[in-house]
A and B are shown apart, each in its own frame.
Chain A
Amino acid sequence: MVDWFFLIVTFAYGTVLCYFELPSLIEQKQYRELAAFIVILAAGTFFGFMKFSGKTVPNPSDLMYWIFLPLKGVIQILLE
């Protein structure tokens, strides 16, 4: 299901942020900050687009679940 409201909110937020923050970052020659800013914002916008247009977003919790799967037996013992 496409969630138009939040889809628009996500893109509007990204645009407004770029409009206000990018010029000052470029002016002050903070190129590392600029790169980090763009990467994080792009990640946020991308995940937002995926989520609100109804596609499945890769869930970081699944990754952690998979990593800690070998310890499941230990925790099971603790739970009893």
Chain B
Amino acid sequence: MKKTKITNRQMCFLTFGVSLGGSVLVVAALMTSIAKQDAWLGAVATVVLGLPVIWALVFLGRRFPDKNYIECLQTVWGRPVGTVVSGLSLYLWITLSYHIPWYVGDFMTSQSMPETPAYVINLVFIAAVAIAVKYGLQAFSRAFEIFILISASLFLLATVLILPNAKIENLQPFLENGLSPVFKSAFFLFAFIGCPVYTMMMIYPTEAENPKSAGKSILTGYLFSGVISFLAIILSILVLGWQITANTRYPAYRLAKEIELGVVFTRIEFIIFFSWILTQFIIDTLLFYAAVKGIAQLFRLRDHKKLVLPFALVVFVMSGVVFPDVLYQENWITFVWAPYAFLHGAVIPILTLILYFVRGGKKKFSNSHSS
């Protein structure tokens, strides 16, 4: 069977998508409720403090160029413990792949189509995701190259259009409560944009065209998504002020509602909406792919594509079950998602890296490539 390969640019864009996807529209609210007008500093701190974690992932990928994340964990932690650890990581992909459709359904029903049942919207969305995964990694990463360009340029267009409404007074007073709220908010932002990056480890070393330089693309993708998150947060604060941002469910969308240029360009918040749906599609496809591929890997199946369609049914049903209401979701995201993602996206990779060196590093593992 011919192996599909991913170019560096696609790798960068996929990382960008998986890192940005879940959060760009919602995270500003959580950030500003903690750090108030200094939340934008939190975004800067996240990018800087998150880099070592992403680097740890890339380092692991470089050391095991022919193993994906699950095999890598099984090698470093030993077979039985590694299976448990990678099973937990896999469970996050499985749960997250039906969280995303819930967001899409909730956004559509609460912001634009209140009469439509959320399940109908989820059905269409998940059908598209399942078809994308069925077509394979190569096909959807090529498609995402185009999607991300559309999505990013729409976002930048909205950014430029909103700039006249910005009020610099909204950022003052600068560092009113000192630095500690900034770092606290950085933790939450990292749980949203940094931690999902480990999904890329199902693709990075094994499917990369040149594994050596692809690591750099992952770091670049993470930096890009940090920049976009930073823009989304600082613009929300500049235009809306932190109080409104903190109390809105979808601040970036609320932000785009402020765009008014003459009489022609009003109500163009749907460009943000369209750009968001595209990123949601990208992240959900990647999570779906990682989940299915991970299941196949863990149970040593040869063909993961056979599992796509039955898994789509599970995702479809659970997308309506997972959060009964908005209050539950907001609580869950704050109290469960943040530590849960941090455990898988930061703690486990770093522990794996430490364990790798403790158990002998390159000397021990370089001759067990083939096993």
Contacts and interface: CB of A to CB of B under 8 A. Distances in A.
Contact of B321 (A6, A43, A51, A78): A51
A14 B313 CA distance: 8
Contact of B324 (A3, A47, A59, A79): A59
A36 B299 contact: yes
B101 to A, nearest CB: 14
Nearest to B300: A32
A40 B322 contact: no
Interface string B116-141: 00010001000000000000000000
Interface string B176-220: 000000001001100000000000000000000000000000000
Contact of A51 (B33, B306, B317): B317
B107 interface: no
A66 B229 CA distance: 30
A32 B338 CA distance: 35
Given A33-B303, A65-B335, A78-B187, A47 B311 contact: no
Contacts of B56: none
Nearest to B328: A61
Interface in B266-309: 295-296, 299-303, 306-307, 309
A44 B313 contact: yes
Contact of B334 (A13, A45, A64, A79): A79
A48 B317 contact: yes
Interface in A35-74: 36-37, 40-41, 43-45, 47-48, 51, 57, 59-61, 64-65, 68, 71-72, 74
A61 B323 contact: yes
Given A60-B95, A68-B335, A72-B335, A33 B306 contact: yes
B94 to A, nearest CB: 9
Interface residues of B, number: 38
B210 to A, nearest CB: 32
A68 B334 CA distance: 11
Interface in B340-356: 340
Contact of A30 (B187, B303, B310): B303
B339 interface: yes
Nearest to A58: B321
Given A32-B301, A33-B302, A36-B299, A68 B339 contact: yes
B317 A61 contact: no
Contact of A40 (B95, B307, B332): B307
A65 B336 contact: yes
B238 interface: no
A72 B335 CA distance: 6
Most chain A beta carbons < 10 A, residue from B95, B328, B334, B339: B339
A63 to B, nearest CB: 10
A6 B313 CA distance: 11
B260 to A, nearest CB: 34
Nearest to A13: B313
Given A59-B324, A79-B34, 12 more contacts: A9-B123, A36-B296, A40-B295, A45-B313, A47-B318, A47-B321, A51-B320, A60-B95, A64-B332, A68-B335, A78-B34, A79-B33
Interface of A: 3, 6, 9-10, 13-14, 17, 21, 25, 30, 32-33, 36-37, 40-41, 43-45, 47-48, 51, 57, 59-61, 64-65, 68, 71-72, 74-75, 78-80
Interface of B: 33-34, 95, 119, 123, 184, 187-188, 295-296, 299-303, 306-307, 309-311, 313-314, 316-318, 320-324, 328, 332, 334-336, 338-340
26 contacts: A10-B313, A13-B313, A17-B313, A25-B306, A33-B302, A36-B301, A36-B306, A40-B311, A40-B314, A44-B317, A47-B321, A51-B317, A51-B321, A57-B318, A60-B322, A61-B95, A61-B328, A65-B332, A68-B339, A71-B335, A71-B339, A72-B335, A75-B335, A75-B338, A79-B34, A79-B184
